[in-house]
Amino acid sequence: MNEASLIGLLFATVSFGALLYLAALGELLAEKAGVLNLGVEGMMAIGAVTAFIAGVEFQNPWLALIIAMLSGALLASVHGFFTVGLGAEQVVSGLSLTILGLGLAAYLGKGYVGLPPGAELVPVEWGRLSDLPWVGPILFNQAPIVYLALLSGIAVSLILSSTRLGLALRAAGESASSTDSAGHSVLGLRLAAVAAGGALAGASGAYLTLSITPQWAEGVTAGRGWIAVALVIFGAWRPSRVGWGALLFGGTLALKPRLQTFGVDFSPIILSMLPYILTLLILLIISVQARKRPSPAPAALGLAYRREER
């Protein structure tokens, strides 16, 4: 293993970490408001395909990113409508959303498979910072979405911890009826959180097709939406911990294709099980601890709220 390949590994760790972080932040927002959305994979696929199509049609990567985020939010709102509006089972609706998203993405992207990208998000030039040894190529040579992911993490963290909106949002996920009594619209808060979560998942998908693998093909999301769902639990519903978890899981994604070149005799397939096994372990630890202190999971997660049934 030489310096260049190690830098390559760390670079990819950060970029995959950002990819996972965006989607996981979206899921965290929805779950904090009390809505489990298992449609992340579908929302990422929609973001990926709409970003690529918009890139080809308009040749503007930023417009493409915005369109991807709107598309993700729109798809997420289907889940919002059924689970928040109608009170349907969140698990069933979320899984259906994954099917819908993957199907729609394949349908929309049919004419774009294998086309060269019309727009790409190119790495940001940070001047002298980019020339620093190690740190420069790893941290200061990334696509702009990586920095946006970091900013989104800080924003989500601040909104949740220190704004009235964040407080109301968390309250909707802990106890819907008391949130309602306090004069906040549980439905509105939850719908907004689900849609915002979809926008972030859409941005994550856009990062794939505008930068990481600037091409469209069915299955480009490759199950990363499920890793994002796992990440939220791994990070115990805290934006900062989810961020560190994203780097760790991103590291496994980055390492997977490199194992052989590093001369490590370990199956890359077994390596890719790691995020899920780690999440299971963390889940066990959390629940053993939960005997002494309260569980970090939002108390009303997964429960529909109907005012007349409280």
| Interacting residues with another protein (CB under 8 A) | 36, 38, 78, 82, 86-89, 91-93, 95-100, 102-107, 110, 180, 183, 185, 218, 223, 226, 229-230, 233, 267, 269-270, 272-273, 276-277, 279-280, 283-284, 287-288, 290, 297, 302, 306, 308-309
Cβ at position 233, least distance to another protein in Å: 6
Q: At what angle do helices 61-79 and 40-58 cross, to 10 degrees?
A: 150
Cβ at position 59, least distance to another protein in Å: 25
Cβ at position 77, least distance to another protein in Å: 12
Exposure on the CB side of residue 232, measured as CA atoms within 13 A: 25
Cβ at position 121, least distance to another protein in Å: 26
Q: Report the candidate in 22, 160, 26 with the shortest Cα–Cα distance to residue 94.
A: 26
Cβ at position 290, least distance to another protein in Å: 8
- Is the distance from CB of 301 to CB of 175 less than 8 angstroms? no
- Is the distance from CB of 153 to CB of 240 less than 8 angstroms? yes
The span from the CA of 291 to the CA of 289, in Å, is 5
Q: Report the candidate in 8, 2, 98 with the shortest Cα–Cα distance to residue 45.
A: 98
CB-wise, 226 or 244, nearer to another protein?
Answer: 226
Cβ at position 302, least distance to another protein in Å: 8
Q: Which residue has the tokens 């998000």?
A: 121
The span from the CA of 18 to the CA of 208, in Å, is 11
Q: Report the candidate in 142, 133, 123, 101 with the shortest Cα–Cα distance to residue 247.
A: 142
The span from the CA of 82 to the CA of 256, in Å, is 38
CB-wise, 26 or 225, nearer to another protein?
Answer: 225
CB-wise, 150 or 271, nearer to another protein?
Answer: 271
The span from the CA of 143 to the CA of 273, in Å, is 27
The span from the CA of 173 to the CA of 167, in Å, is 10
The alpha carbon of 35 is separated from its chain's Cα centroid by a whole number of angstroms, namely 15
The span from the CA of 72 to the CA of 92, in Å, is 19
CB-wise, 121 or 300, nearer to another protein?
Answer: 300
CB-wise, 158 or 280, nearer to another protein?
Answer: 280
CB-wise, 147 or 276, nearer to another protein?
Answer: 276
CB-wise, 111 or 133, nearer to another protein?
Answer: 111
Cβ at position 288, least distance to another protein in Å: 6
CB-wise, 103 or 257, nearer to another protein?
Answer: 103
Cβ at position 269, least distance to another protein in Å: 4
